[in-house]
């Protein structure tokens, strides 16, 4: 088990998943003009211990989809910010709990 609180562990895995989404979207946009390019896709699955595990796959069909990649970037950015807010709130709650115990 990690030395982080469960809230921190779950939110960090969410931030990592969001960063993977940004990486994939950026990779796809950078390769728009590459012949026979297959888009990268991010697959996230829940972990028994909490949080998500993320992996990359390639799309079955060749070609780009700039609209989907732009939306994916926005989704990933918002997911990162949401998980960051959870992380900060968990840190504040843990700090408050430690203050109470003194």
Cβ neighbors of 86 (< 8 A, separation 6 or more) are 7, 10, 11, 14
Residue 58 to residue 47: CA distance in whole angstroms = 22
- Decide: 69 and 29 in contact? Cβ < 8 Å: yes
Residue 39 to residue 25: CA distance in whole angstroms = 9
Q: Is 50 among the domain residues? A: yes
CA gyration radius, the chain: 17
Q: Is 75 among the domain residues? A: yes
For 75-94, write each residue's pLDDT tens digit: 999 999 999 999 999 888 87
Q: Is 97 among the domain residues? A: no
Q: Is 86 among the domain residues? A: yes
pTM, 2 dp: 0.83
How far is Cα of residue 25 from the mean position of the Cα atoms in its chain? Answer: 12
Q: Is 56 among the domain residues? A: yes
For 10-26, write each residue's pLDDT tens digit: 999 999 999 999 999 99
> For a pLDDT cut of 90, what percent of the chain falls above it?
67
């Amino acid at each position: 088990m990690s030395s982080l609180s469960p809230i921190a562990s779950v939110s960090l895995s969410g931030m990592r998943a969001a960063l993977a989404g940004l990486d994939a979207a950026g990779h796809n946009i950078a390769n728009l003009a590459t012949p026979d390019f297959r888009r990268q896709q991010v697959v996230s699955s829940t972990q028994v211990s909490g949080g998500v595990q993320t992996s990359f796959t390639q799309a079955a069909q060749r070609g780009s989809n700039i609209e989907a990649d732009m939306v994916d970037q926005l989704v990933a950015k918002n997911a990162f910010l949401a998980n960051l807010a959870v992380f900060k709130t968990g840190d504040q709650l843990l700090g408050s709990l430690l203050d109470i115990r003194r």
